[in-house]
Amino acid sequence: MPHSVFPEGLALLAAKLFGAVAGSAISIAYVLPRGRREAALRFFTGLVAGLVFGGPSGLILADRLGLSDRLGSVEIALLGAASASLCAWWGLGMLARLAARHGHGPAKPGR
């Protein structure tokens, strides 16, 4: 295994953080938020989801795609964090929009 400048734990944390930020940014760019509050909530939801679920998600994806023996632990953490972060918006964000559309979400101004 090549020598890294960072200790393994720090490299994994950096990969998960970078992946989570990238996934959050993609989710915001792909479906534009309705305002600053929604953008901030989506970003931080994606960030937390990527950091928490990035490791397990990466392992599952690498195994299912048959890439476990071809990717290093840092690449697997990056893959998992980005995908978990991106999926967090699709799961939670779309549910929030559906609830708001059907009158179960936050009250809209003027009502």
Q: Could you report the per-residue pLDDT of 31-45, keeping only the tens digit for each? A: 788 889 888 888 999
Extract the tokens encoding 1: 């295994």
Residue 105 DSSP SS3: coil
The pLDDT, as a whole number, for residue 4 is 58
Model confidence pTM above 0.85: no
